Each structure stands twice: as structure tokens, then as C-alpha cells.
Structure 1
């Protein structure tokens, strides 16, 4: 199983690359929409790789970062979504935007992605929205490298609210808007049981208010 490749970029095509590693050229599927993240031909390149084995093929799919690879793996687990459709989805939406749409059941956004119709969009939400923890919490270390807004989440008394706030900030929402959305869900402000809600439900409600 090939998990990553580091070598010289020797060829770029519309939907694939050739990377030379130790005298061997590996063809890696990689959409043209992400070519702006590649070095020039002849320069060194590192890609995270997912190996997909079928009865009649052995294919490599490349990703600039680990988050895209993880999302690709989850997409492949959805009924009716194959490698090409999964790559098209990622070509149309970054993992953070895709995870936000899945958690919010945003069928309209998902239907705009290449190869995704209404039924596929509904299946994506149904099967993946509860598996977005990695993407919603990505970068939430609470340390010096965390966004200032995420570190400021400590003033929420409830752990679930702190986690939801950090997730919203890491999805790209301004801290002020993320805080306001969650404040509207706190006990005494529209939902007396909000403090007992899991992080996923807090996020779902907050994203709807931010839409």
C-alpha cells in the first residue's frame, strides 16, 4: 500500500501527474483545479496518496495535505461514490467547506459539486455528517499555534460549547460571529436544554443560524 510519494514532478496532465521516485515514474490522479498548488515540472513534490485496488486496476490518488486524503477515504465509504466522484467533490470544495455543508445538511451546496445529484447529496449528509469530528476540530490544539479565537473559547463554562466554538473558528467563521451563534443557544436564550446537547448538534444549530 502506497501512502505517500516524494520525488520529482515530471509530467502534468488534465487529471493526473507523473512523479519520478527512485527511477520509477508513478501516475497519480490529481485534478487540474488543484494544479496551482503544485511546483513547476522538474521540481520536488510530496503528496499524500491513497491506493485504490480494483479487480482490474491499481490506482493512486494524490492530495496536497492529509485532511483531503482523510475526506477522500470517508467519501469512498458512501454508497454510490467511487474514486473519480470523490476526487471531483474535493476538486469543488475544500474539506472544511465540505464538512460544514455536511453537518448543516446543506443539500443545495452539495448539489453544486461535480457529479453530485440530490440523492447523492442526501446520502453524503446521512452517512458522513456524524464523522466530521477530525475536520471540525482540526488545528484545535489550544496552544500557541491555535487561532486566537479558538484559545478564547475557554470562557464558555460548558465543554461542549468550547468545543463547538473552536470548531466554528477552525471552519473559518470570525470568532465574534461564532460566539454570537452559540450564545443564542445557551440556557435561557432560546433553548433551555442547549447545555445538554452534544457538540455535533450544537454545531448543526449554530451553522443554521450562520447560514
Structure 2
């Protein structure tokens, strides 16, 4: 089992990233909450990983911290939630916000995530309630407990941000509207922050 990788970040295109570990390139899928915390291209990064093996597919998932990986592993135990949907859920919300929604029975907030309908959201709340009862909540603001690193220098910031949202399951028109609204909040924001602002707005609406 591959549980942790330390290497050089050489490619990133949400939800995929490529890590060079002693000359071996590891392709991983990661939620946006991990992409927010990635260093600049060419820098060293440490990721906690989960290897998913099925009959026809081997997939490696990477997370910035062990809490996110722990919640990912809890999510995929829920009936009807596979790795792809678990990544989408962790992309739309921070791990602590998901735990808060479960504790507060906030089904509506969970349905803001692409791919999560009312029935799936209700199932998440029911099945995760006991599994997350010992989840330690931080004392600071749940939506801002990690410093967001602005690392994208691509000139086509809006297009990159919209592309990332489409990859997460949002429709192109919807993604464009979300990024447009986010850019009005902070016109000089990099793509990672635009995505964060857009997802935060969806979660709170």
C-alpha cells in the first residue's frame, strides 16, 4: 500500500497532478482543497495517499493532510459513494465543513456539491453521523483554517478556473457564472482563489 509520497510537483491540472519521486512519475487525483495548498511548480511536496484497486483500474489519490485522507476513506464507505464522488465532495467543502453539515443535518448544503442529490445527501448525513461523532473541530473559522497559497501564474486565469470547475462536475455556463461572480469579489485573484471563492459561495447559498 502506498501511504505517503514525497517528491517534486511537475504537473497539475485539477483533479490530476504529477509527482516526480526519485525519477518515477506518480499520477494522482486530488480534491481542490489539496490543490489550494500545493507549492509552486518544481517545489517539493508531501502528500498522504490512498490507493484504490478494482478489477480493471488502479487509482492513486493524494491529500495535503491526513484529516482529508481520513474523511475520504470514510466517505467511500458510504453506500453509493465512490472515489470520484468523494473527491468532488472534498473539492466543494473543507473536511471540517462536511463534518459540520453532518452534525447539523444540513442536507441542503451538501446538495450544492455536483453529483450530490437530496437522497445521497440524506444518506451521507445518516451514515456519517456515527462515524464522525469523534471528529475534532478546530476553534477557528472552518472555511479559513488553512492559509490559501496563490501559486498560479497563467495569464488565462479565468479560463483555468472555469476548466477546473467543469472538471469537478459543474456545467460550463454555471462554471462561468460562478467564476465571474468570484472575480467581482476579488478582481486580482489567482485561479486557485477564484475557485475557492466560487465554491464557498455555492456552499453558503
1:1-211 superposed matches below 5 A: 1-32=1-32, 34-135=34-135, 137=136, 169=139, 172=142
Offset of 1:31 from its aligned partner? 3.6
1:37-96, Cα deviation, whole Å (9 max, x unpaired): 111111101001011001111111111111100100010001110101000000011111
Unaligned 5+ segments in structure 1 are: 140-168, 173-211
Offset of 1:36 from its aligned partner? 2.8
8 Å contact 2:71–2:95 — kept in the other structure? Answer: yes
Q: Report the TM-score, using the length of structure 2 for normalisation.
A: 0.65
Q: Which has the higher contact order (CA 8 A, sep 6+)?
A: 2
SS of the aligned residue for 2:49 comes to strand
CA distance, structure 2, for counterparts of residue 31 and residue 130 of structure 1 = 24
Summarize the Cα distance change of 1:33–1:65 in structure 2 as closer, same or farther, 3 Å threshold. closer
Hey, which bits of structure 1, 4+ residues long, moved more than 3 A? 31-34, 169-172
1:12-32, Cα deviation, whole Å (9 max, x unpaired): 123111101121100000245
CA distance, structure 1, for counterparts of residue 33 and residue 137 of structure 2 = 23
CA distance, structure 1, for counterparts of residue 127 and residue 50 of structure 2 = 21
Q: Which is greater in Rg? A: 1
Report the number of matched residues. 143
Q: Report the TM-score, using the length of structure 1 for normalisation.
A: 0.63
- RMSD across aligned positions (CA): 1.9
